[in-house]
Amino acid sequence: MSLNRLTISEARDKLDAGEISSLDLVQDCLERIKEIDERLRSCLEVCQEKALLEAKEADARIKKGETGALLGIPYIAKDNILTKGVKTTAASKMLENYIAPTDATVIKKLRHSGAVLLAKSNLDEFAHGASTENSAFFTTRNPWDLERVPGGSSGGSAAAVAADLCLFALGTDTGGSVRAPASFCGVSGLKPSYGRCSRFGLIAMTSSTDVPGVLSKTVSDSALVLKAVAGRDEYDATTPDIEVGDYYNNLGEDLQGLTAGLTQEYFDDQTDPEVIKLVKTAVNVLEEKGVKIKETSLPYSKYSVPTYYIITPSEISSNMARFDGIRYGFRKEQGVSSLADVYHKSRAGGLGPEVKRRIMLGTYALSAGYRDAYYLQAQKTRTKIKEEMDSALEEFDFLITPTSPHIAFKIGEQSDDPLQMYLEDIFVSGASLAGLPALSIPCGFSQGLPVGMQVIVKRFDEQTLFDVSYNYQKATQWHLQKPDF
């Protein structure tokens, strides 16, 4: 068996028993990347030399008797997460040659845990998108069908996990960017509560909803990774001092007595009937496990996409102001006479069309005369959306929705229609606006392509998220299916 196909817990057992080394694992992953990534195009940069070195260090630590869930485990990080000494481009010409002086907190924590960074993965430029087609470099393919998108924006990370290039991957989720590609690629995608993990070193998009997330082969693996990367960070003032659970060891063995709400708005005619059927079948599995299921309604959920697409571009227009051609990144040299020219032309030359669109949209929404009508209205509607989801989660232990209304679409099919692309976030943006933890897990196939189910729980109740999904995965085989290539 190729070791790159292992889950984290399988590899852990073999590493601890001395059957394999971290170097073996890393070599198999690098071999796999070399073999297929020319076609899959999930990685922007492979750090072969460093990875081999880190694997040897991990092996030395294991030999000394050190233990740890991620010690010696190879992973891939989305390329909008800063990695010291390895390029971080955000898939933008703006940062084509950028090397960060420090690690993001989540990367630093993984380094301490002894996890081995294999590569940086592709994304929509600055994470602006839902298909990975907005990468300034190339489009990542869906491993289940190379003519289709992997979803986005963490499309490279999701495709890499699905195709066994690594044991797990980090992504970022602002309005569905971990969950949506997890659903399209048939892997588990975790978006923790806002503030559960530090955002320090994530290239900022929407600061009020950005979170680092985990793409993995099983839910129990994401429980292991979350424990390693979560917690209060003095460099991110939005991380509350709330205890990080021992999620993996506390995984509940049954779901007796839990209640789940099925949000009827997510099961109407906007959703592919095949997707509805599969999610409802998954709900039956949970019911057999003792979960009490009831229909519920979130009338404000239909406003989550318009709310999100005011708040997000507004925050983007502010966050992207740092790319000015002065301190780092692309600078236009020709035809530049004043400082203002440096700004205007460097931004024009370094940023791609979707990034420009969002900067424009946000600047418009925040400009004189429009701020109250758009931005403030969106912030108030956000309050409504949050209150409504919170009160549903008072009634239920968790909510279930399809992750996406359909299966992965074809490359190029809707890349010229920004509004259509924004509507991709229809089921996933609510949890982001409310800061709730949510997870997408595979629940079947339609036309040979994976379908995902989303579970949403109360803020900082990630344990319930894992319990529900883990018991579902114990009872089903969907997460074990592999693309054939």
Partner 1 sequence: MIKKEEIKHIASLARLELSEEEIEKMSDQLSDVISYIEKLKEVDVAGIEPTAQVTGLENSVCEDEVREWNKEELESAVSQAPEREGEEFKVRRVLEEE
Q: Is 440 among the catalytic positions?
A: no
Q: Pick between residue 217 and residue 458 the one whose CB is nearest to partner 1.
A: 458
Whether 9 and 221 have beta carbons less than 8 Å apart is answered as yes
Calculate the alpha carbon distances from 32 to 39, 150, 158, 300 in Å: 12, 18, 15, 45
Active-site residue (options: 9, 78, 216, 432): 78
334 makes contact with partner 1 (CB under 8 A): no
For residue 17, give both structure tokens.
Answer: 């028993």
Q: Which of 380, 448, 480, 485 binds partner 1 (CB under 8 A)?
A: 380
Q: Pick between residue 149 and residue 378 the one whose CB is nearest to partner 1.
A: 378
Q: Pick between residue 8 and residue 431 the one whose CB is nearest to partner 1.
A: 431
Query: Which range binds partner 1 by CB under 8 A, 105-113, 134-142, 309-317, 476-484?
Result: 309-317
Instruction: Give me the residues paired with residue 445 across strands.
Output: 450
**Strand duo 398-402 + 449-456: pairing:** antiparallel
Dist CA 80 CA 366 (whole Å): 25
Whether 74 and 165 have beta carbons less than 8 Å apart is answered as no
Whether 190 and 213 have beta carbons less than 8 Å apart is answered as yes
108 makes contact with partner 1 (CB under 8 A): no
Residue 327, classified by CB atoms within 10 Å of its CB into exposed (0-12), middle (13-18) or buried (19+), is exposed
Dist CA 483 CA 32 (whole Å): 14
475 makes contact with partner 1 (CB under 8 A): no
360 makes contact with partner 1 (CB under 8 A): yes
325 makes contact with partner 1 (CB under 8 A): yes
Q: Pick between residue 137 and residue 328 the one whose CB is nearest to partner 1.
A: 328
36 makes contact with partner 1 (CB under 8 A): no
Can you say whether residue 230 is alpha, beta or left, with left for phi > 0 and alpha for psi between -120 and 50 degrees? beta
Q: Is 78 among the catalytic positions?
A: yes
For residue 47, give both structure tokens.
Answer: 């750090």
Q: How many CB atoms lie within 10 A of CB 167?
A: 32
480 makes contact with partner 1 (CB under 8 A): no
Q: Which of 99, 251, 285, 293 binds partner 1 (CB under 8 A)?
A: 99
**Residues classed as catalytic:** 78, 153, 177
Task: Point out which residues bind partner 1 (CB under 8 A).
Answer: 84, 98-102, 194-195, 208, 234, 237-238, 240, 300, 303, 306-307, 309-310, 317, 321, 324-329, 331, 338-340, 342-345, 347-348, 351, 353, 356-357, 359-361, 363-364, 367, 373-374, 376-384, 386, 418-419, 422, 434-435, 459
